[in-house]
Amino acid sequence: MGLMMGHFFISYSRRNIEFVESLKTHLIQAGIDIWIDQVGLKPGTHDWEKALRDAIKESNGVVLVASPSSQESPFVRDEIAIARAANRKIYPV
């Protein structure tokens, strides 16, 4: 299994993409490996839901971009539920 050791999964609402782009840049510049759907999911990924679950389960934690939009997002809710089930730390920003 090709595990990407040491990464943090970024969970966010697409409505917050401008902030997410800035956050992603800062984390990478700080030497923190991240997994974000726009990079981790390759075009044509057959089972993208499994790819997301695996990325969360294999992560060191989840960076949650906490906003009203993310609270309303069923995708974010699912990602956080997976993180909790996998006993991953959640870091709200």
pLDDT tens track for 33-87: 999 887 777 666 678 788 889 999 999 999 999 999 999 999 999 999 999 999 9
Q: HEC states along 55-68?
A: HHHCCCEEEECCCH
Grouping H, G, I as helix, E, B as strand and the rest as coil, residue 92 is strand
Q: Residue 65: its pLDDT value, please?
A: 97
Q: Residue 44: its pLDDT value, please?
A: 67
* Backbone angle region of 44, left / alpha / beta, with phi > 0 → left and psi within -120 to 50 → alpha: left
Residues 12-31: what's their mean pLDDT?
95
Q: Residue 38: its pLDDT value, please?
A: 73
| Cα atoms found within 13 Å of the Cα of residue 9, Cβ hemisphere only | 25
Q: How far is 26 from 35, CA to CA, in rounded Å?
A: 14
How far are the Cα atoms of 15, 44, 78 from residue 65, in angstroms, in the given order?
11, 26, 14
pLDDT band at 2 (very low <50, low <70, confident <90, very high): very low
